[in-house]
Chain A
Amino acid sequence: MKVYFSEWNSSELVKSATSKGKKRELLTPTTFSLIHATDFADRYERHLVPLLRAGYVVLCDRYVFTAFARDVVRGCPPDWVRGLYDFAALPDLTFFFQADLEVSLQRILDGRPKLKFFEAGMDLRLSSDIYESFRIFQGRLLEQYLAMSTEFNFTVIDANEPVETQQAVVRQLVSKRVDLTVYKRRKPAPPPPSVPRVRRPKPSPAEEPAE
């Protein structure tokens, strides 16, 4: 299958600036938004556009909607944020994995000891308690996602269910909506008969690496 999985990982340069900004808490809502847009543009222009043109199925772990929700909760004007990203094509299919706050909080904490400053929305000074801040911030994000759900035709998946149950639903929906046979890789063409095959000489026993 011609499939590419794209995470939010960008070039080293953009990443270096983003992590510096986050580590030193230099970011304001506007620069937070812009530096993530820079990051997204890099990912979009270097990977997504060429892959889509080459006929790949591209799976994106988060897309512009994350920015739409997050930046608006941080106080950026919605139409400004949407305008920034209008170079990006809308997906053919968008899944929204909706989990209860306590479930997502527990899943994060199962994986690592504590919450991160920006993921808990601590820059918004909603609460001095990071867990409380996380709950308020994620609650506001959820409102934004739900508001976008109809506009961008999200397919909502109940993310409180076990992974296997979610997978069964997602697989069924994808195969219904996308003709996956189109994305099968073609077999590589056999070499033309006129080209003589170069046979690599077998290494003599003396050259073989010692055990």
Chain B
Amino acid sequence: MKPANDIVVPVRRVRRFYGHGIPGVKLEELGGKLIVVEGADGSGRSTQIAKLVEWLEGSGHATVQVGLKRSSLVSDELGQAQEGNILSRTTLSLFYATDFADQLENVILPALRAGFIVLADRYIYTLMARDLVRGFHEPWLKNLYGIALEPDAVFYLTVAPEELVQRNLAKSAALDYWESGMDLGLSRDMFDCFVKYQTSMQATFRRMQDSYGFTFVDGNRSAETISAELQKKISAVLAGK
């Protein structure tokens, strides 16, 4: 058995919300770490998060996972809304924000208070990028997501859209309607639509990097290589570097 002093206690740092935040939350109470992994479907997010959980728990940390559309408040209804494509754009956007806020208040903040490492399978950035690509006003989105806590690290897995197509088709032999941005009507051909949409999502993430400081991670490499890079970077975050 490893001696206990091998286990690193995460170093605390000064936290902030992007905007007004959540009323009544004392930031100094939030220990733990919030690590976000962003990327398109097929970029390897779930694989990487599974590996990180194994590594972090093996290193003596407690972890919790959150993701989009996982709130107890609205996840069922959001799923149905996507099936039927019946909600208008602002409605859908606010519905997603509700889903996010519910998880932020009921999972992320309590877990951080208890010193957990929270792994977020996407965060506000995907939600913002989706809306920006659809022509939403950026200040409106920044105000809306001013409730969000700034994470300790955000990794964005970049995979070329052409490679994403291959991975998605290899997995389920079909492309997802929303991940192809079909509602935008970029093309009647789903393949073209997917590539165009993912290209503009990536461009939007690049543009958002100035404000949010993502770490871009080349997702075209093997899962092990990527995981090793993430572990190295997260070790530095835990050590307060």
Contact = CB atoms under 8 A, between A and B. Distances in A.
Given A16-B77, A17-B77, A77-B20, A41 B88 contact: yes
| Residue picked from A17, A21, A27, A46, most chain B C-beta under 10 Å | A17
Interface in A75-93: 75-77, 79-80, 83-84, 86-87
B209 interface: no
Interface residues of B, number: 32
Interface in B1-47: 19-20, 22-24
Given A13-B77, A13-B81, A31-B102, 17 more contacts: A13-B86, A14-B95, A17-B98, A28-B101, A30-B147, A31-B101, A35-B98, A37-B94, A38-B97, A45-B88, A45-B91, A77-B23, A80-B19, A80-B20, A80-B143, A84-B144, A86-B140
A42 B88 contact: yes
B80 interface: yes
A83 B22 contact: no
A181 interface: no
- The majority secondary structure among interface residues of chain A is helix
B94 A41 contact: yes
A26 interface: yes
Interface residues of A, number: 31
Interface in B36-77: 72-74, 76-77
B222 interface: no
B89 interface: yes
A13 B95 CA distance: 10
Nearest to B79: A13
12 contacts: A13-B77, A13-B81, A13-B87, A14-B77, A17-B73, A28-B22, A30-B22, A31-B98, A34-B97, A34-B98, A41-B88, A45-B90
Contacts of B229: none
A11 B140 contact: no
B140 to A, nearest CB: 6
A100 B24 CA distance: 31
Contacts of B89: 45
Contact of B23 (A16, A26, A75): A75
